Structure 1
Amino acid sequence: MKFPHFCYLVTLVSVLFSCSKESNTETDKTIDPPIVIDLVPTSAYFPPISRTNQWETVSFNALGWNEENVPTLLNFLEENDTDAFIILKNGRIVLEEYFGDFTMDDNHAWNSAGKNLTAMLTGIAQEEEYLNITDASSIYLGEGWTSLTPEQEQNISIKNQLTMTTGLDYTVDNNFCTDPECLQYLKEPNSNWYYHNAPYTLLDDVIANAVNTDFNTYFSEKIKEPIGMQGTFIKIGYNNVFFSTARSMARFGILNLQEGNWDGTTILNDMDYFNAMTNTSQDLNLAYGYLYWLNGKESFKLPNSEDTFTGNLIPNAPTDLYAALGKNDQKLYMVPSMDLVVVRMGGASDEELLGPSSFDNEIWGYIMDIIQQPTP
C-alpha cells in the first residue's frame, strides 16, 4: 500500500490536524531567531516544550565539518523527491532543509518508521505492568484473532509481534490484512523471520486493550506530549500510520539517543527493554531489534525476502547506527557514538521498499563526506 504525502488525509478524516498544520505544541509559533552555538557542543540539548520554534543550532565551522560538501548532499536530496531533511548534533540543528512547497509546519507520513513509536510504547506499557512481552498475544486480542487452532495461537507472544517471528503466513494475498482469515499458520513462532505487517499492526490493539485506553491517547500521554512532539496515528485501510512534522520525528530521535530520558524526565526507565529493543532480538535477522533496524551486524534480511545477506545493512554508515525506516524512504537514523540524529521525509527515491533501500547507503555516503575530516 502506497501512502501519499500529507494532503491525502484531508478527504479521509476530520481531525484537528490540517493538511499543513496541527493545533498542538509546535503551532501558533512565535518566530524566534536561532540560538547559534559557536563552540563544539558536549552536553545534550532538548528543544523547549512550548509554542515556539526555538531550537539551538551549531555551525559547521564549530564542528569542523566540511560545509563545502553540503550542496552535493542537497542536490542529491532534491533529485530524490525529498520533502524534509534534518541533521542534529547533540540535539542541536546543524542542517535543516525543506524542498518544494513542503514547510517546517507540514505533516508527513512516517509509514513503517512509526513502528519504533509502537516499540517504545510497548516497553512503557510493560514497565507500568499492564503487560509482559512474553505474554500470549491472545490475552489482549482475544481467542480467535487468527485462523490458527487455540493451541497454535497460544504460542504467539507479544515479543513475536515485536520481532517479526510470529510464524504467521506472509504469503497471503494481503500482507497488511489483520482479519482472522488473513492470519494463517505457516510455521512455529521463533522459527522464521519475515517482515509481516499485520501482526505488527495488531500491537496497537494489544497496547490499547492492555491499558484500557485509546491507543492515540496513551501514546500522547506517555511519549508525544512529554517530549513536545505533535502528530497523530491515523487508520488508513488496515494500517495505523503516524503523521507529524520532521521536527517531531527529530525529537523522537533525541529521546532515543538519551535512552528514554527527556531533559530529566523519564519516558522509558527499563534499560533492559531499551537495550533489547535497539540490539539484535533473535538469531534469524541480526539486523533487527524490537521493530528497530540495526547497522553493524554480520548479516541482515530485508522485507519481502527470505534471503540472508552478508555484511552491514548500511555499509557507509557508522556501525552503531540504529534506525526507523519506512516505505517511500522515510528515515530516522540515530548514531549514539557521534550523538547524531538524521531525519529524511519525502517520496520514494528510486524504489518503493517497505523499509531499508539503496537510498540508505547512498545518503550516508554524502553525510560522511560532510562529517569526516579531510585527509591532510
Structure 2
Amino acid sequence: MTRFGVEEEYFFLDPDSLAPTASGRGMKRVLSDAGVPGTFSSEFLTCQLEYATSPLNTLDEARTQLMLARAAAAEIAAGEDSILGPVGTPFGTGDGHVSPSARYREIARWLADIAGGHHVCGCHVHVEIEDDEARVRALNRLRPWLPVLLALGGNAPFWHARITGFRSWRTVLMRRLPTMGCPPLFRDHEHYRRHLDQLIRLRASPDAASLAWAARLSDHYPTVETRVFDTQLDPEDTLLLVALTRAILTTEDLTVLPLDADLVDGALWMAAREGMNAALIDPVTGEVSSARMLLQDLLLLVGPQLEQAGDVAFVHDRIAFMRAEGTGAERQLAALRSGGVPGLAALVGGRTGHSTHAA
C-alpha cells in the first residue's frame, strides 16, 4: 500500500474575536513531549503551529494521529486562553509577528510588506512514489485535477472580520507569491530540477522548500506534495482529501490532457471563489463542466485505487456528508449566520479533538 503523510497548519485564536494570537514560547517543547506520533514545529508567524504525521499506510492511522495532535494542541491553547483554529484564514485580525528563526527572518525580508499579513494555514498531503520519473508523471497527472480538489477543500471564507465571497481566501492571498498556482508541465525529472534551480537563482523562491506551487515534488522526501488545500475544519475532511489525492497520484493509467497553466489557474480561482458550485475544466475532455460532475467522474476514474486502499466506503460517506452539510467554508459561513461570532467560535473550537466520521 502506498504510504502518505499529512502536514496541517493551525492558528491560535482569541476565543472572543477569533483574531490570531501569539503562542507561548514553550508550546512547541511541551507538545513535543506529549507522546503524539509525528512532529510539531513552529510556523512562519508566532500565531501558527504546524503538525506533521509520521509516514502512514491507512486512513485509520492518519485519523488517530491527527485527532491526537489536534487534541494535544487544543489543550495547550486552552491553557493560554486561546482556541486552536483549523482554518485557512482567521476570522479576526491580530498578531503578525514572524517566528524567531533565521530561515523565517530571511523569508520575511524576501516577502517585505507581505510578511506581516501572511495569515494562511494549509494542509499538505505527501504521497510516496520512489522513482524520480514516476514522481514527475504523477505530478503531471495531478495538476488538472487540482481545481476539483480545491473546490472540495476550501475552508477560508473570512478575512479581517468580513465575509470575502470566496470559499478559499487563502488561495487569493497565496497568489501574491511568485510561484503560486498550477505547476508547469514537466518533460522529466531533469526538466523539473532545472526549472526549480532557475527559480531559485532568480530569487522567485528563496529555496526549494519555499516553492509555493499548488503541488510539487518534495525536496526532502520521495513524495509528491499537494499543497492546494486550506487546513480543514474536521480531520474527516482532511482524510477525504488524502484518499482522493493518493488515488489520483497512484492511478498510473489515468489519462489527462496537458492543459495550459492559465486554464488550470483560472479554474483554481473559480474553485476558490465558488467551491463546489464552480465551473471548472474537465481534465479528460478539456470542456467546461461543473465541479460536482467532475467529482463524480473522478470517483469513477480512481475507483480501483480507492478499492485497493480500502477507502471506497469512507470516501462516499464523507462526500455524502459534505453534500448535506457543506464544505468547511460553507459550514463556517452557516455558523456565523446562525450564531454570530460565538457560534463560529463554537464550531471552530469544537473541530479540534473529535471526529464526525459518518459510519
TM-score, normalised to structure 2, is 0.28
Structure number with higher helix proportion: 2
TM-score, normalised to structure 1, is 0.28
